[in-house]
């Protein structure tokens, strides 16, 4: 297959474009500067905390300074050190605002160190680092990340914990001048009072009392100022899919939607899109913890993919985001790695059932066949329809049931979940439902006879891709199997020839590790995956998918360097909803009570394609 830039009939990628596509590469200077700033920050903190850290060849100069200048300088050095530590990560990521702040703080820290410690070496190091920052100022041009005022609360909590720990170190760093033998609780009380500017229960001899008081006050000042700054600075909300973007993406999917089973999930409203110069291709993404996370293959004409990938990489470079792609196909992985210089790693396999080949007959399908027959004998019936064929009342009931039957507290799904059910524009999606009349005399449930729901999104003109699986916890086990079989059975009448089921992470490792003759390394890797399946549905998804005898299509994660993999993995877990950095449950409930009930038309996003545990 020949991949070429729009308008380039030769199929070759120009060197100029290839150089752009290969960015952003890890820059040595920002990384070294960030590490050096962190070291200088630690030195400033040590100079402000530990009296014995002071090394003076000009001690006679201190005798002519005002008596309280030393304690002030210690607190100032501590302040600059903490602020430099906060800026170190931003400098590693080439952030312009971090560079500006560091240029101001480094000379201030040098003055504080010289005043308090009289260390010429400390001044030389700070000024050398300042010169390095100025000389390489063009390297620090990254734009700000998406942010909201919730970061102020996070900053307050983190800074408070750090200030308490550092404050305990400060009050304990003058043992010879500390009067009495205070307990840990008394030391902590002294720190708490000092952070808000009051005198605590501890007493010191000489100027140590002033030094400790000013240092604790400086920590409290830093916590307050940084929190206020983050709370009142202008917000930079994360990019979202606009109505114009959605219209353009739907047009691309109408032409090229059969190429990738995950294509329709690009229409999630919490994703943003970048388009190729010709508008014939697009990459959708979401920024999570500094990672620019794309999902699936680019949308649109494969010949225009490089143009969309170029725009994606330029955006990542402009903000110094870590580029990554989750769940791309083998073809997509080849294009991404060839055009950008990134690397790829097999993440798992997607289960795809070819409808003409599916049958419940045969020994291999005996368990599924028996389960479906048993459930049908218990009085369950199934219906498979397009969303556009449902009346509004039934659709609303299905939407409410799907939200209330969510098996986890947080919504899950990013790369393989649409995040909504039955909204305008999604009339071509599919819904499979299971129904059973309530027993005579029993009180009817809030959703009538509805017991389980499966939602599928279109995969081109003749395919559909599983989005979510929900069931009533009181329903019989096997609802998911029942509805998948019903969907596959009804697929020919709906014009469907292929159905994409769940994604099974590390499927090949699980399959090969249980075979006869598997080596110790493979068995050990499989054992680790089975252990992790207690918290993440790794083995259960593989076994559930395997029941339907699918063909397996590999999916890949694309990344820049192996050093980025832990960060990408954490960002992916956040995006998928497995890791949630949010308010405690009690506070969220109080907030929801204050807001009042929300209309179901704006119900929370639905989780990804996961198997719900059955009794």
Question: Does residue 600 register a pLDDT over 50?
Answer: no
What is the pLDDT at residue 47? 65
**Rounded mean pLDDT of the chain?**
78
What is the pLDDT at residue 20? 40
Give residue-wise pLDDT tens across range 261-309.
999 999 988 888 999 999 999 999 988 888 999 988 999 999 999 999 9
Phi/psi at 456 (5° precision): -120, 150
Q: What Å distances lie between residue 531 and 307, 493, 536, 542, 580, CA to CA?
A: 42, 42, 9, 14, 22
Give residue-wise pLDDT tens across range 341-391.
899 998 889 999 999 999 998 888 899 999 999 998 888 999 999 999 999
Phi and psi based region of residue 320 (left: phi greater than 0; alpha: psi -120 to 50; beta: remaining):
left
Question: Does residue 24 register a pLDDT over 70?
Answer: no
What is the pLDDT at residue 492? 93
| DSSP tag of 476 | P
Give residue-wise pLDDT tens across range 110-157.
776 666 656 677 678 778 888 888 888 887 777 776 666 667 777 788
What is the pLDDT at residue 27? 54
Q: What SS3 class is residue 461?
A: coil
Q: What SS3 class is residue 237?
A: coil
Mean pLDDT of 584-602: 40
Question: Does residue 443 register a pLDDT over 90?
Answer: no
What is the pLDDT at residue 532? 73
What is the pLDDT at residue 71? 63
pTM above 0.75, yes or no: no
Stated as kind and residue range, the H or E segment containing 16 is helix 15-21
Mean pLDDT of 543-569: 90
Stated as kind and residue range, the H or E segment containing 144 is none
Q: Which one, of 552, 509, 502, 551, lies nearest residue 530 by Cα? A: 509
Q: How far is CA 160 from the centre of its chain?
A: 25
What is the pLDDT at residue 16? 38
- Choose the most confident range, by mean pLDDT, from 301-305, 316-320, 474-478: 301-305
Mean pLDDT of 59-78: 52
Question: Does residue 404 register a pLDDT over 70?
Answer: yes
Read off the pLDDT band of 447 (50, 70, 90).
confident
What is the pLDDT at residue 188? 86
Mean pLDDT of 223-249: 77
Phi/psi at 32 (5° precision): -65, -40
Q: Which one, of 472, 407, 466, 463, lies nearest residue 431 by Cα? A: 466
What is the pLDDT at residue 251? 93
Read off the pLDDT band of 522 (50, 70, 90).
confident
What is the pLDDT at residue 233? 66
């Amino acid at each position: 297959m020949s991949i070429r830039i729009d308008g380039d009939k030769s199929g070759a990628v120009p060197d100029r474009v290839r150089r752009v596509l290969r960015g952003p590469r890890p820059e040595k200077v920002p990384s070294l500067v960030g590490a050096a700033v962190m070291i200088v920050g630690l030195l400033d903190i040590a100079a402000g905390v530990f009296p014995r850290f002071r090394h003076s060849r000009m001690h006679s100069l201190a005798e002519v300074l005002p008596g309280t200048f030393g304690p002030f300088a210690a607190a100032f050095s501590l302040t600059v050190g903490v602020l430099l530590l906060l800026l170190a990560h931003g400098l590693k990521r080439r952030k312009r605002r971090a560079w500006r702040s560091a240029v101001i703080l480094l000379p201030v820290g040098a003055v504080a160190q010289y005043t308090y410690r009289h260390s010429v070496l400390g001044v030389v190091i700070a000024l050398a680092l300042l010169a390095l920052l100025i000389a390489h100022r063009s390297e620090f041009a990254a734009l700000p990340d998406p942010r909201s005022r919730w970061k102020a609360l996070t900053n307050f909590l983190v800074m408070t914990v750090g200030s308490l720990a550092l404050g305990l170190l400060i009050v304990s760093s003058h043992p010879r001048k500390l009067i009495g033998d205070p307990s840990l609780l008394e030391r902590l009380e002294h720190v708490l009072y000092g952070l808000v500017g009051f005198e605590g229960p501890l007493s010191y001899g000489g100027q140590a009392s002033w030094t400790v008081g000013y240092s604790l006050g400086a920590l409290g000042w830093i916590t307050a100022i940084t929190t206020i700054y983050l709370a009142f600075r202008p917000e930079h909300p994360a990019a979202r899919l606009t109505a114009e973007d959605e219209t353009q993406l739907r047009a691309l999917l109408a032409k090229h939607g059969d190429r990738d089973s995950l294509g329709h999930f690009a229409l999630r409203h919490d994703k943003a899109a970048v388009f190729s110069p010709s508008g014939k291709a697009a990459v959708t993404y979401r920024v999570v913890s500094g990672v620019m996370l794309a999902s699936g293959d680019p949308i649109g004409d494969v010949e225009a993919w490089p143009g969309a990938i170029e725009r994606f990489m330029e955006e990542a470079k402009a903000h110094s985001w870590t580029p990554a792609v989750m769940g791309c196909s083998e073809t997509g992985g080849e294009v991404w790695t060839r055009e950008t210089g990134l690397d790829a790693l097999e993440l798992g396999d997607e289960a795809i059932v070819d409808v003409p080949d599916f049958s419940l007959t045969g020994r291999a399908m005996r368990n599924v066949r028996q389960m479906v027959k048993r459930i049908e004998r218990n009085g369950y019936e199934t219906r498979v329809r397009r969303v556009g064929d449902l009346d509004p009342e039934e659709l609303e009931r299905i939407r409410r049931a799907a939200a209330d039957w969510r098996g986890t507290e947080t919504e899950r799904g990013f790369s393989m979940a649409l995040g909504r059910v039955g909204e305008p524009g999604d009339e071509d999606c599919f819904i499979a439902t299971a129904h059973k009349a309530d027993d005579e005399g029993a009180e009817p449930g809030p959703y009538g006879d509805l017991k389980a729901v499966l939602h599928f999104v279109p995969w081109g003109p003749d395919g559909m891709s599983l989005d979510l699986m929900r069931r009533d916890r009181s329903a019989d086990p096997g609802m998911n199997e029942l509805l998948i079989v019903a969907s596959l059975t009804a697929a020919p009448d709906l014009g469907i020839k292929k159905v994409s089921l769940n994604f099974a992470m590390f499927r090949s490792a699980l399959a090969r590790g249980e075979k006869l003759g598997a080596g110790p390394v493979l068995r050990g890797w499989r054992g680790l995956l089975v252990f992790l399946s207690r918290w993440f549905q790794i083995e259960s998804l593989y076994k559930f998918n395997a029941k339907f005898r699918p063909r397996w299509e590999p999916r890949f994660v694309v990344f820049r360097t192996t050093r980025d993999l832990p960060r990408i993995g954490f960002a992916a877990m956040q995006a998928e909803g497995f890791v949630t950095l949010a308010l405690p449950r009690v506070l969220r409930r109080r907030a929801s009570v204050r807001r009042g009930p929300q209309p179901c038309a704006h119900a929370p996003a639905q989780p990804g394609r996961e198997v719900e545990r059955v009794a």
